[in-house]
Every structure is written in C-alpha cells, then in structure tokens.
Structure 1
Amino acid sequence: MQTSELTIPDHSFTRPFQRTLVVLAGPTASGKTALGIWLAKAFNTEILSADSRQCFKELNIGVARPDEEELAQVPHHFIASHSIYDKVNAGVFANYGLELLDRLFKKHRIVFMVGGTGLYIKALTEGIDQMPATPDHIREAITQQYQLQGLAWLQRAVQQEDPIFWQQAEKMNPQRLMRGLEFIRTTGNSITAFRKNEKQPRDFQVLNIALDLPREQLYERINQRVDVMIAQGLENEVRDLYPLRHLNALQTVGYKEWYDYFEGRTSLSAVSALIQQNTRHYAKRQITWFKKQQDFRWFCPSDKENILTCIQSHINT
C-alpha cells in the first residue's frame, strides 16, 4: 500500500478530541526515520525527534541525521535545533517537547515522536525528577579524565564514590556513569537520592511502539551504515570538530573513536571497526532499556500495515 492511498478517518467531529502522541522508538539503524516519515505522511502530521545527538547542528553524518530530502517530506522538530555549546539534557528536551506539543496539538490530532534516546522519551511522557545543577568545572574535569583514562577508570570511580548508584547503573554507558559521578561530587549524595520516579500527568495519551529486528540483521545494518558514513566524509566532519572534543556532545559514538587516530595512535581500519563495535554495544543498551519498559508494543520495521492498524485502533477507542 502506498502512503498516498491511505485514508485516515477523522473522528474529531463525532467524538471528543483526544490528543495522541505516538512514540516510535527502538535501537539505532532499525529503520525509525523512514517508518516515522511514512506514518507521519499517512496522518498528515509532524515529527518530534527524540535523539539526543541529532539536535546538534554541528553533528550530521556521524549521528545519521535525516537528510534534506527526508526533512522536506514531513516537518521535523529538535533536528539541528541546538548547538554543541548548548546545555541539552532530558529536562531541556522535555520542556522543549511539551511546549512544542501544546502548539502542534492545536493543529493535529496525532503527533509522532521518533527516536532512540530512552531517557528523553521517558522525561517527556512521564516527567523527570528535579536535579540540582552541576558546575561546569566538575563536568569538564570528569569528561577530560574519562577521555584520558577511558571507561575502566570511570567505572572504578563510580564504584568507589557512589556504590549505591553503581549497583543499578548501566555499567557500559559512559554518559550515565559520568552523570552519576557529577552528582556525587557536586552534592555529596548519590544521584539515586534525587530519584522519585513519580509519573507526572500529561494532557495527551501516549502510544508506545518499538521496532525490533533479529540481532544479526540489526548488526549487519549497523556495520553497513558505518561504512556509508565513512564514505560520505565522516572523517572530515570529525576532524573539523576535533578542537572541541572536550565538549559533552562530542563524547559520542562515531566521533570519539577518531581522536586516537588523529593523534597517531591507531589506524583508519581500527577506527571503522571500533565505531561499528561501539554502535552495536549502544544498540544493545537501547534494546535493553526499551525491553524494560512495560508499555511498549513491538513490531518488525517492515510490518507497516499492522503498525498503522495498531495506531488507528488506539486513537479510535
């Protein structure tokens, strides 16, 4: 079925107007962008990106940002909307998204949120605990030490300084570990002490959909995507940003693997293999995150018609 043939019934005049946010999530390279555009066109609506790196205008190839042709098909938000100099986190995203949705729901009955950053999705749909600010000098010191000494140092530091957080932390996720270390050094208390996990009310309903692929197929798509990124000029993109590698936004898979190469400590082939490996690890963490969420409905990316039927059934009940 072609998108142009789809007819989405409008029940807004026959039943109370129900605002619906459809979340389309899943691991990197699972096909979220293409499917999200297809669905948004079917419902004649817009897309809010839930990707913590595609929002940075300086990052393009390495974060698989939608290209100009894709962006022209459907209005997108939170794409190239910020600078790597800006402080962007789950709280910032939630505020951005809620303000945007308030405007979009005045025009559309349904809006899509597409992306793989689980914490951002959770912050917008359920709320996020208020956390004290972290001084820049503490964050920068931890980031620089992580750059110099790597993940093993970061894991030891968190384990020693915040053993409570360490017990429940994503131990292979440097961003989460650095965040925890920032808190213990800033406040003297574990980040877990600030977590209440209380859901906040929203004036729209949420339908959570996640994409799933056989692991071997997903990993092959990841490997191919990295090859394409390098062919498209990823090395030059990262080289231009290399002087800014101390910024948090550049502690990102696809970028951080190049730094040793630029400093003459590894080979180009090793960079490619490491990006592929780290991207596979990241995808695995994403899958683990979304599998832990109880309210996601899982589909194969090619199962467009059943996904469409699921959405129609949900908004018409």
Structure 2
Amino acid sequence: MKRDQPFLVCIVGPTAIGKTALSIKLASHFTTEIVSADSRQFFKEMKIGTAVPAEEELSQAKHHFIQHISIQDNYNVGKFENDAIAVLGDIFESNSKAILVGGSGLYHKAVTEGLVSFPEIPSGIRKKYNDILDTEGIERLQGLLLKKDPETYRTIEISNPRRLTRALEVLEVSGKSFSHFQNQNKKKRQFEVVKIGLYAPREVIYNRIEQRVDLMIGQGLVKEAKRLYPFRHFNALQTVGYKELFAYFDGELNLDQAISEIKKNTRRFAKRQLTWFKKDPDIQWFHFETPSEEIITHIKT
C-alpha cells in the first residue's frame, strides 16, 4: 500500500552497527533530512567519544541535533521531544518523509510516542539517593535497582547515575516500576512511523565495538577527555568512553585498563540497547549487511 501521509523512518540498533551509514543512504534516496536521536551526540564538546558522524557524512544530508548544545546547557529528553517534533513539522512542510536515527531508545520513544507523566519527586527522596551515590557509590544504586526493579535494570544505562537515581525515586514515590510509566498510552502523532532495526551476531557487534574504540583512541579520545576532565561531574559526561578515562586521570586505572573498561562497558551498553529495542514488536529487523535497496523497498510497501 502506498503511503500518502508523512512518515518517519526510525533506524535503531546497537552501537557501531551501521545506523549512520544507512540513515544517509535513506535520506539521499528520499531527498530528506535526518533527525538524530543519539543523546550523546548532542554535545558540541564531545565529538570523538560519541562517534559523531564525519564531516563528509554530515555533508551528504542535512542533520539535526548533532552537537547543537553544550555540556553546560540544561537539556533533557522532554525538551528534545518538543524540539524534534517542531523540526519534523518543518521537514514535513516540504517532504513527506524524514529519518530518525540513533541508539537512545528513550529519545526515539519520546518522538514516536511521547513522554509519559512521572510523579513529582520530593526533595528529601532525591537527596536520599544522591547521598547514597556520594557515600556508597554507583554500585550500591545498581544493586538496589536490580533488587527492586529488575526489568528497568535490564533496559536503562546502569552506568548513568542520574538514570539510576531517577528509577529508584519513581519506584519509591509511586510504588510502581519505572517501566510501568514507560508503558503508558502513546500520544497521537501527525505522521506514520516505520521502524527499522539493524542486527548482527553478538561476536560481530563486539568486534565492531572494539574496532570503534581503538579508532577513537587513535583519533585523540584521551586528549578530548583530558580537556573535559574539569567538567567530569556534569551529567553529560557520565558516559562510557569518558568516565573510564577520568578514572585513568585519577590514577585508579592505567591506560590499557581504561581502554579495556571502555570496550567492556560499551558491550554492556549494546546489550541493553538490544534488550530495549527487542521489546518493540513494530520494529522490522534487517541484518546489518542488508542492501539499502531492500530496506527501501520495505519502507515503500
């Protein structure tokens, strides 16, 4: 059936699987623009460690939300939802198609379904979990979440302390899991959504991750992280690739250990990405080496 109304093509999958390359091919074919839903690539100071597309790639299609804010800006998924919907409205004024790409599942969901209404968190409860983080460390929060809300533990980025505290706060205030709120009713959008997922055997994903990390190190990730070290407590920098190098700068790890930790934590992140996306029955999965022409045919039908 031919699609006559605007539709958004969402490209998802684990890190380093080839989402950027596919998005550019689709954008070129449909002569449209790309909206990035990779929350790590929003920050202009974090280029190498977030695998921002190369200038040559960016020049092949117009991209939105790539390095558009600073790590010092107050930006969140709610603001992104509003901004992305506005940008898509502009794109759909002149084109019936748009591309949404990135591995941040919550940000995809914000655009396609809308954010849910979480309960207000009293300052005392927020302080409680921040104090646990400060005094007992992130491992304590991870243990609490695994025990109290294992479903959320399996899907969020557990290396991100803000995500951990948020999930625990919501659970304590409401008595309901973070996942419960994420599964609330969808918002009505003025466009169709076509979801494309890229997959590969686990060993292939892990090998591609290792190659990407080695490439980042060769491109100067250590120098980039060193420049950002004074801001290491910012939420944006609680990110794989930076926090391990901060530990190296603090003398907690040597460089080889830090690089090994980056690879290990990126593999874990990829596993959580797949866990999140595999729960969505609307995603049509393609092997990462599938010719783009075959995916385009699927989109058109």
TM-score, scaled to structure 1: 0.84
Residues 164-243 of structure 1 mapped to structure 2, 5 A cutoff = 166-171=149-154, 173-174=157-158, 175=160, 176-183=163-170, 192=178, 197-243=184-230
CA–CA distance in 2 between the matches of 1:154 and 1:277? 20
Structure with greater Cα Rg: 1
Q: Secondary structure at the match of 1:208?
A: strand
CA–CA distance in 2 between the matches of 1:83 and 1:141? 29
Q: 1:99 aligns with which of 62, 68, 86?
A: 86
Instruction: Tell me: CA distance 1:275–1:199, structure 2 relative to 1, closer, same or farther (3 Å).
Output: same
Q: Secondary structure at the match of 1:298?
A: strand
Is 1:128 aligned with 2:115? yes
Structure 1, unmatched stretches of 5+, are 1-10
Q: Secondary structure at the match of 1:62?
A: coil
Cα pair 2:34 2:62 within 8 Å, conserved: yes
Q: 1:110 aligns with which of 89, 97, 105?
A: 97
Aligned to 2:70: 83
Q: Secondary structure at the match of 1:53?
A: helix
Q: Secondary structure at the match of 1:63?
A: coil
CA–CA distance in 1 between the matches of 2:94 and 2:123? 40
CA–CA distance in 2 between the matches of 1:302 and 1:74? 21
Amino acid at match of 2:299: I
Aligned to 2:38: 51
Is 1:247 aligned with 2:231? no
Q: Secondary structure at the match of 1:54?
A: helix
Structure 1 stretch 302-311 or stretch 187-196: which is displaced more? 187-196
Q: Secondary structure at the match of 1:105?
A: helix
CA–CA distance in 2 between the matches of 1:34 and 1:247? 30
Instruction: Tell me: CA distance 1:139–1:267, structure 2 relative to 1, closer, same or farther (3 Å).
Output: farther
Cα pair 2:152 2:177 within 8 Å, conserved: no
Amino acid at match of 1:41: S
Amino acid at match of 2:269: Y
Q: Secondary structure at the match of 1:181?
A: helix
Cα pair 1:180 1:190 within 8 Å, conserved: no
Structure 1 stretch 25-34 or stretch 295-304: which is displaced more? 295-304
CA–CA distance in 2 between the matches of 1:43 and 1:76? 14
CA–CA distance in 1 between the matches of 2:90 and 2:284? 27
Aligned to 2:9: 22
Task: Tell me how far 1:26 sits from its aligned partner.
Answer: 0.5
Instruction: Tell me: CA distance 1:262–1:301, structure 2 relative to 1, closer, same or farther (3 Å).
Output: same
Cα pair 1:91 1:128 within 8 Å, conserved: yes
**Alignment root-mean-square deviation, CA:** 2.6
CA–CA distance in 2 between the matches of 1:212 and 1:84? 31
Aligned to 1:300: 287
CA–CA distance in 2 between the matches of 1:37 and 1:261? 36
Residues 244-283 of structure 1 mapped to structure 2, 5 A cutoff = 244-283=231-270
Task: Tell me how far 1:20 sits from its aligned partner.
Answer: 0.6
Cα pair 2:3 2:300 within 8 Å, conserved: no
| 1:144-178 deviation line (CA, Å, top 9, x unaligned) | 86477444211234468xx3xx2432257323322
CA–CA distance in 2 between the matches of 1:130 and 1:310? 34
CA–CA distance in 2 between the matches of 1:232 and 1:169? 35
Cα pair 2:145 2:153 within 8 Å, conserved: no
Amino acid at match of 1:169: T
CA–CA distance in 2 between the matches of 1:64 and 1:136? 36
CA–CA distance in 1 between the matches of 2:221 and 2:127? 25
Amino acid at match of 1:312: K
Is 1:311 aligned with 2:294? no
Amino acid at match of 2:197: A
Structure 2, unmatched stretches of 5+, are none
Structure 1 stretch 107-116 or stretch 79-88: which is displaced more? 79-88
Amino acid at match of 1:310: H
Task: Tell me how far 1:233 sits from its aligned partner.
Answer: 0.5
Cα pair 1:21 1:112 within 8 Å, conserved: yes
CA–CA distance in 2 between the matches of 1:273 and 1:48? 32
Task: Tell me how far 1:287 sits from its aligned partner.
Answer: 0.8
Task: Tell me how far 1:16 sits from its aligned partner.
Answer: 8.3
Instruction: Tell me: CA distance 1:96–1:294, structure 2 relative to 1, closer, same or farther (3 Å).
Output: same
Task: Tell me how far 1:179 sits from its aligned partner.
Answer: 1.7
| 1:233-263 deviation line (CA, Å, top 9, x unaligned) | 0001111111111111100011111122101
Cα pair 1:184 1:190 within 8 Å, conserved: yes
CA–CA distance in 2 between the matches of 1:173 and 1:240? 24
Matched residues, number: 295
| 1:19-44 deviation line (CA, Å, top 9, x unaligned) | 01000111000000111111101111
